[in-house]
Amino acid sequence: MKISKWVLLSGLFAAATQAQANLPASAVSSLMITVYGVFTSSDATCLSGFQTSVPISATAGPINFAAGAPAGSPGPVASPVNCLVMVVKNSLAFTIASGSYTTTSTNTQSITNNDSNCNSGGTQTINFLPSGLTPVWPSTITSAASAAGLTLTTTTTGTASDVVPIYFSINSACAGASSDSTSICGASDANLKILSPPGAGSSAKSSPNGLTLTSFSGNGGNTYLEMKNYFGGVGSTANFASGCGQFAPSQFIIHQ
């Protein structure tokens, strides 16, 4: 079965929890991340039944999510999609255009910052995962990576050389959003366990592992990946010295 568009809401690269974004999409001129492959399954525990939906390529280059750039040839998609795994590089680079921004951005801690912090623009590269984490790799993905000549990370180093799986599932309770259960997900995005599947015994939105697979819907078109991110004023501890950066969960759209 082919599903023409999946819409996935998560806090994958969030620097804070869900918030109101005010910088226009046009302000983000590039948003680059390398996606080596995408796998789907009807098994919400993410332990079996994987379909290779975007085949692994060891030579995959960065995709500009701001432009919805092509992401390889489409493959079979599970029906229904209860689990999705993206194999990605531990590096995110974004560029904010200079401008005259007059809005503000407020996060769920009710902290408001001026988007004029972004007026000078700039480029930032983030390694979004720290060192010392242990990814869990399904055998389907390890076999596909081996055949493609891609080396998968077994323990993260916190550098751009890490190749990691990001799990999404209907059984995952956490999205880096204010609606997350703190008893399951912890008090901050730093507790997100995105490199592990929900696992055996999990039920709908019960597991601290993975990110919540929220919804998917149909819309015709060629296969490509898009990520809508949220940038604006984030205070003195921002990615840019001027107090501009990323401050809210991302919206992932995979068109097929």
Q: Mind listing the pLDDT tens digit for each residue in 100-134?
A: 988 887 654 567 788 888 888 888 888 888 899 99
Question: Which residues, including other chains, have CB under 8 Å from residue 78's CB and lie 6 or more apart?
Answer: 1, 40, 41, 42, 49, 50, 51, 53
Percent of the chain with pLDDT over 70: 67
Mean pLDDT, range 181-210, rounded to an integer? 84
153-162: burial string, b at 16+ Cβ within 10 Å, e else: beebeeeeeb
Q: How many domains does the chain have?
A: 1
Q: How many helices (H) and strands (E) does the chain have?
A: 2, 14
3-state secondary structure of 27: helix
Return the pLDDT at 228: 54
Q: Residue ranges of the alpha helices (H) in the chain?
A: 139-148, 182-185
The predicted-structure confidence for 214-240, as pLDDT tens digits, reads as follows: 655 444 444 444 555 556 777 655 456
- Between 134 and 186, the more confident residue is 134
Tell me which residue range forms the domain holding 168: 5-255
Q: Would the pLDDT of 3 be above 60?
A: no
Judged against a pLDDT cut of 90, whether residue 145 lies above it is answered with yes
**Bigger pLDDT: 30 vs 41:** 41
Give the C-alpha separation, 196 to 75, whole Å: 24
Whether pLDDT at 152 is above 80: yes
CA distance 9 to 236: 27
Q: What is the pLDDT of residue 221?
A: 40
Nearest CA-CA partner of 197 in 113, 82, 101: 82
At 127 the pLDDT is 86
The band of 81, judged by pLDDT with boundaries at 50, 70 and 90, is: confident
